[in-house]
Structure 1
Amino acid sequence: MLKNITLDRPLAVLDLETTGTDTKIDRIVEVSVLKILPGGECDHRTRRVNPGVPIPPEATAVHGITDDDVADCPTFRAIAPGLARFLDGCDLGGFNILKYDLRLLAAEYNRAGLDFPVAGRKVIDACHIFHKREPRDLTAAYRFYCGLEHEGAHGAAADVLATLAILDAQVARYDDLPTTIDGLHAHCSDPTALDMSGMFGKDEDGVIVFVKGKYKGRTLEQVAGDKPDYLDWMLKADFFDDTKAIASQALRRAG
């Protein structure tokens, strides 16, 4: 399976599907590990997990896994010892594994009261290599879309001109991109978000809920009633004005 990489010991390439993107609070709903031995033998195992919390609709929209799909699946605590044994002695690989998968895996093991050792392992992150080799900055975008070198990079005036040229070239390059500002705004925004910060959305019943942050999944009215100090903090923090307006209205209703 590997044609260009030499293995001295087993490599386990892993990927997680989860309830969200917050590595501190979100939970695993599926784990897949492809274990490759130095001799070339492979063992690919995938297991769904009952996260013990509802899977948000926005997460299901990404990976297609619903609450019903995992209702009869084991918890992470149940599979944790076996997974640790399967990964024992393996180096680890993944896409964005350093910033995401490993952090979430460590959090799940911590909740299960177990250790997941990473010391001594080699970790290969394809996302890190991708971003390092193919930079995703303004200079790289100008070169890619416009075929020009960005002279005066990081000077505000030159960056503005380059950005405008890139936007125009992107619309020309991709037939499915809108040609209007309204259309491009919709393309760049989360259609389910109620505010520019993406803090609030609506559940299936049309009730405003937090879609990220420490109260993710809770309704705005619940937080306004139980934790008004959190909304007070939001009004003083660096959220956009539309986010603050929603929080302020909820506080007034709760008061």
Structure 2
Amino acid sequence: MGWHEELLIGFDLETTGTDPAESRIVTAAVVETKGAEVVASRHWLADPGVPIPAEAAAIHGITSERAAAQGRPAAEVAEEIAAVLAGHWSVGVPVVAYNAAFDLSLLAAELRRHGLTPLSERLSGARTGPVVDPYTIDRAVDRYRKGRRTLEAVCREYGIVLDGAHEAGADALGAVRVARAIALRHPRIAETGLWELHRDQVRWYGEWAAGYQKWLRRQGQEDAVVDGTWPVR
């Protein structure tokens, strides 16, 4: 039985923007799943401490006013999320996040911002992971497929129904279901050990970033730099 049939932890953030170094957590979800079904979950609403831009609120539905009135302090939320993820990693359970380099890098930035223990120091010297990123895996196993690679688009490709896109819990579960679907379609992914798959994703993401950077520079963006670090910048 491959990793895709074992316990998988879905993780997603909804945020104030698209730059993981500067954006803040607004909502978050960690869902424990077995066989693509939720067996437990935790959800957070944070007061990010900065205004939520209208374009971000239009996507995830959380306004600055609601976050300020109902959200918990950002430092508390970041600490609890990090502790939950580290707890799963400490017993070898993988965290599944769609475009993990964004969510985990943003969480790492929040921990630094609030003077909290970094992810890399929460596991007694162990590595941060294993992480399963269906975004990175899908690009590697089906490199030449045309079309967008958003979570919604990739869910359609794999026949996954995504209810409530851009709600953290729905997206976390969607990421898990896509990861399982990729493993079922591509047996070599299912048969790969979690840490070997983790290392493969480090390489695949770096190769994608280098190729994308070259493409941008051919388009005239001579100073374009694409960070190829995965899963935490």
The normalised TM-score by structure 1 is 0.47
Root-mean-square deviation (Å): 3.1
Residue in structure 2 matching 1:135, options 121, 132, 143: 143
Q: Check conservation: 1:54, 1:67, Cα contact below 8 A.
A: yes
Relative distance call for 1:52 and 1:120 in structure 2 (3 A) is closer
Gaps of 5+ in 1: 145-237, 240-255
Please show how residues 149-228 of structure 1 align to structure 2 within 5 Å.
Answer: none
CA distance in 2, matches of 1:59, 1:41: 27
- The ranges of structure 1 where at least 4 consecutive aligned residues each deviate by more than 3 angstroms after the TM superposition are none
- Give 1:37 deviation, angstroms: 7.0
* 1:55-74, Cα deviation, whole Å (9 max, x unpaired): 11111121111112211211
CA distance in 1, matches of 2:135, 2:38: 25
Residue in structure 2 matching 1:111, options 110, 113, 121: 113
Q: Indicate the residue corresponding to 1:5 in structure 2.
A: 4
Please show how residues 215-254 of structure 1 align to structure 2 within 5 Å.
Answer: none
Please show how residues 59-70 of structure 1 align to structure 2 within 5 Å.
Answer: 59-70=56-67
Is 1:125 the counterpart of 2:152 in the alignment?
no
Q: Check conservation: 2:16, 2:24, Cα contact below 8 A.
A: yes
- Give 1:110 deviation, angstroms: 0.9
Is 1:102 the counterpart of 2:104 in the alignment?
yes
The normalised TM-score by structure 2 is 0.51
Relative distance call for 1:37 and 1:115 in structure 2 (3 A) is farther
CA distance in 2, matches of 1:77, 1:89: 20
- Give 1:14 deviation, angstroms: 0.5
Q: Indicate the residue corresponding to 1:89 in structure 2.
A: 88
Gaps of 5+ in 2: 121-126, 148-220, 223-233
Q: Which has the higher helix share?
A: 2
CA distance in 1, matches of 2:65, 2:28: 17
Q: Indicate the residue corresponding to 1:57 in structure 2.
A: 54
CA distance in 1, matches of 2:18, 2:128: 27
CA distance in 1, matches of 2:31, 2:108: 19
Aligned residue type for 1:101: D
Relative distance call for 1:96 and 1:27 in structure 2 (3 A) is same
- Higher relative contact order structure (alpha carbons within 8 Å, sequence separation ≥ 6): 2
SS of 1:113's equivalent in the other structure is coil
Point out the structure with max Rg over C-alpha: 1
CA distance in 2, matches of 1:41, 1:22: 30
- Give 1:116 deviation, angstroms: 3.4
Q: Indicate the residue corresponding to 2:178 in structure 1.
A: none
CA distance in 2, matches of 1:92, 1:4: 12
CA distance in 1, matches of 2:110, 2:77: 11
Please show how residues 67-86 of structure 1 align to structure 2 within 5 Å.
Answer: 67-72=64-69, 73-86=71-84
SS of 2:47's equivalent in the other structure is coil
CA distance in 2, matches of 1:34, 1:117: 19
CA distance in 2, matches of 1:103, 1:34: 19
